[in-house]
A = this chain, B = another copy of it.
Amino acid sequence: MSQTKTGSAATTEAPAKEPRGARRKRETRQRLMKAALELMAARGMDGVAINEITEAADVGFGSFYNHFDSKEAIHAELMREVLNSFGETMDHISNNLEDPAEILSTAVRYAVQRSADNPVWGRFLIQTALSADILSGLGQYMLRDIQRGIASGRFKLKDPLMAFTSVGGTVIGALTAQMEFAPADSTAKKVAQQLGLNLENIPERTASTVLQILGLTNEQADEVAHRPLPPVELRDSLF
């Protein structure tokens, strides 16, 4: 248990009075996190050696253990941070909107769009969603939003469990699809285009699909899914 955890792990700007050594340590930690994020997004936790992380971070090998106890530990930290950053955005969205359908729609559009813009982030978000128990990751936010919609009567569900499963699966499927299609030269994109599939506006179409699963009519869902997106403030140092 030799490592020190900085109070608020994600903040970039230090409290001004932060001594130089502490800043240096924080920066090293940050470099390790960033390097691990990219490597593990691409190849998964098991596919990456600590050696590779320190190399990519341009940090001495032994320094890794000044910051993390193990590979599992840094991976867990990364998941925690991706989720926290996502959660904060979600809270921000929730606090500025009334309609539960619009809240969920905004969250979905945000997640899908951001995964296309930043596949490293997206791949990691998917890892958190699939890892261990569902409700420790993405699922908890979805569940909260869905319950809110049920309570308010906006969502009318005959089968809450299946609705939850289906919404979750749809979102993860869309994140995956979006990242397959995002690169301009991807084979997935070519195949899809040959099949005549529409690859525009996937965030909005995902949101609409999700809302229909939750009981809105086609028209209602499309309307909500195309409302103007409120600006979302991002403050992640990692991405």
Contact = CB atoms under 8 A, between A and B. Distances in A.
A46 B218 CA distance: 44
A134 interface: yes
Interface of A is mostly: helix
Interface string A40-80: 00001011000000000000000000000000000000000
Interface string A168-190: 11111110110010000000100
A24 interface: no
Contacts of A176: 134
Interface in A120-151: 130, 133-135
Copies in the complex: 2
Nearest to A212: B213
Contacts of A165: 170, 173-174, 177, 206, 209
A230 to B, nearest CB: 23
Contacts of A172: 169, 172-173
A166 B162 contact: no
13 contacts: A46-B46, A130-B130, A159-B198, A159-B209, A162-B174, A162-B205, A162-B208, A165-B173, A165-B209, A169-B171, A169-B172, A169-B173, A169-B174
A9 interface: no
Contacts of A168: 169, 173
A170 B168 CA distance: 8
Which are the 4 A-B pairs with shortest beta-carbon distances?
A169-B169, A169-B173, A46-B46, A165-B173
